[in-house]
Chain A
């Protein structure tokens, strides 16, 4: 990193403490405490793309989900979709497709609920600057016990859906190349139907909290970590939001289409990843726009922006309200992610309700196979955004190439921009950097629900430590957040 200018100071923010760090932030300040440059580093490297080479292809859907225990279903399904192509079974039976969709919406519901209630609600309920002693999920449990229980029970419901479709709450085995290994029994269906109306109601009240917060604090929400960007997601053929399957659509900040209905088997013609020195996480971009201009956002905000409509009534009404704030143009506000996320949460539970009433789930045709291929791409809209899995397989059924672009990686540049914006607006030129100001940086990162903060994004606030060192590395000041 360039720290050559002798009068720059460096601030290090370790979202997850230095020793557990999956990610951290450094901020370079000049002698007047003006922000010079900010960087978000991802400090994890595991090498999946190399070490799965040589494994048999049917192992991959259960193997690669160990990338992430927070949304394992997304990796499980993206890999299974790629393997569908390998076995020539991408036209699934209705039972298989609907079981997988049910699993996926269950995953979306548990992950979005977890993120909103356990992680973000403390900031929204108590304020970014609130006393950190109460600004956490235990504080929420004490002050708003009903809400906390609601969050726990919504997550639990999503996990129960996953258990009954994948066989296990975490790292299940439900999806196999060309289909699924079980259907939904009547007993399982009835168990899930028992609480469904309660869940729809709670999803609506969670949406209302997110919406009211955004509307009531619009002045704060508009500038906070915000910037214009392109947006990318899968989209159904008729332009509807589709979290499980579709073609790629990218739009610019004004809503003009960059490309549309691209078959994702050809994603490599459109998306590349740039490597930078300071992070193990790469920087994806739209190829023909180049790394400078081609970066984009993914996730709930991008999906609500790219969709022409949502195919379930309650979520569609919510989408219209959301889009009205920006007169139908894409919304480019970082904090609007929360509102968009709760729209998707409602959509997911509506979809679950529709699916549970579908007798296809009790069908017995589970697997299809066709012409064997040696290459397959599987994409899915994971809770945090578009997830890419791409594999090549040889005649011995062994993997010879793997390329994974995970959701959080797609949001790498946007998260860096959000950090930069917040640092410029809230930290630049401030004589003393307080805990509350540090939390502002976290709030911006947290809006994207990144998996780099795995350790914390599950349950509470990210522990933070900031060290201010001069250019020779001497410690000037240190603050840590308890």
Chain B
């Protein structure tokens, strides 16, 4: 039987959720036996090579490219999981939602401490993507099937959730894995 495929993406996140996935340590070798990795920073696969059973999303959407990749994941994955606060609620980056984007940019590039910017321009070229007015959680853009809370969710939570989804068993997490700081 062909192994189920799994894909992962980091949108507007800090990569901590992917790091937490790595914290399953040597179980990563077991995971590679269980599944095949498709599009993911784990490997070199840039475009989906086939239908995926599971898509894990870290981070919300802060620019047009995030939206694009998220829609692509929805199209290609049977089950989509929002992993971590950023994917579920926008997380820390969404702190900018209460502030006009222009102000954020001006602080960083014009009025900021130690900034040298004689032209007074904010970075703007065709080569950098457009920012969205706000940071959006993933389920406001596409339908999301499951949510794994935590910042980041502990490695064991991610592991147990993947195993449950892959083996079609109910997920039964002990208290320590669903307790947050």
Contact = CB atoms under 8 A, between A and B. Distances in A.
A16 interface: yes
Contacts of B103: 50
Contact of A43 (B42, B124, B128): B128
A174 to B, nearest CB: 12
B125 A274 contact: no
B127 A41 contact: yes
B14 A68 contact: yes
A217 to B, nearest CB: 23
Contacts of A170: 16, 19-20, 23, 152
Contacts of A46: 12, 62, 93, 96
B92 A66 contact: yes
B108 A49 contact: yes
A319 to B, nearest CB: 30
A268 B114 contact: yes
Contacts of A333: none
A153 to B, nearest CB: 7
A152 B28 contact: yes
Nearest to A39: B127
A63 B92 contact: yes
B44 A132 contact: yes
B72 to A, nearest CB: 7
Interface string A165-194: 001111101000000000000000000000
A54 to B, nearest CB: 10
Interface string B28-66: 110010000000111111110100000000000011011
A72 B125 contact: no
Contacts of B163: none
A153 B26 contact: yes
B96 A50 contact: yes
Nearest to B27: A152
Interface stretch (A89-97, A342-350, A354-362, A455-463): A455-463
B99 interface: yes
A1 B126 CA distance: 8
Interface string B82-121: 0000000001110110110101110111101111110101
B107 A49 contact: yes
A153 B10 CA distance: 24
B65 A19 contact: yes
B149 interface: no
B26 A152 contact: yes
A275 B117 CA distance: 5
B18 interface: yes
B137 interface: no
B16 A136 contact: no
B10 A20 contact: yes
B127 A390 contact: no
A45 B42 contact: no
A47 B116 contact: no
A222 interface: no
A171 B41 contact: no
Nearest to A454: B15
Contacts of A43: 63, 65, 127-129
B44 A136 contact: yes
A50 B104 contact: yes
Contact of B116 (A153, A278, A291): A291
A41 B110 CA distance: 19
A474 interface: no
Contact of B152 (A39, A42, A53, A69): A69
B77 interface: no
Contact of B46 (A155, A275, A480): A480
Most buried by B among A52, A268, A458: A458
Contacts of A459: 18, 22, 40-43
B75 interface: no
Contacts of A323: none
A401 interface: yes
A403 B151 contact: no
Contacts of A481: 44, 46
Contacts of A282: 108-109, 115
Contacts of B108: 45, 47, 49-50, 282
Contacts of A482: 44-46, 49
Contact of A279 (B17, B23, B63, B128): B128
A138 interface: yes
Given A268-B113, A272-B114, A273-B116, A480 B47 contact: yes
Given A170-B152, A291-B116, A465-B46, A138 B32 contact: yes
B131 interface: yes
Given A47-B96, A152-B25, A276 B20 contact: no
A155 B113 contact: no
A141 interface: yes
Contacts of A268: 113-114
A382 to B, nearest CB: 14
Given A50-B99, A274-B117, A463-B44, 15 more contacts: A1-B125, A20-B11, A46-B96, A47-B96, A47-B107, A50-B108, A69-B16, A69-B20, A137-B42, A272-B114, A275-B122, A401-B113, A405-B114, A459-B43, A460-B44
Interface of B: 9-20, 22-23, 25-26, 28-29, 32, 40-47, 49, 62-63, 65-66, 68-69, 72, 91-93, 95-96, 98-99, 101, 103-105, 107-110, 112-117, 119, 121-129, 131, 151-152, 155, 181
10 contacts: A41-B128, A47-B99, A47-B107, A167-B181, A171-B152, A268-B114, A275-B119, A275-B122, A390-B113, A458-B15
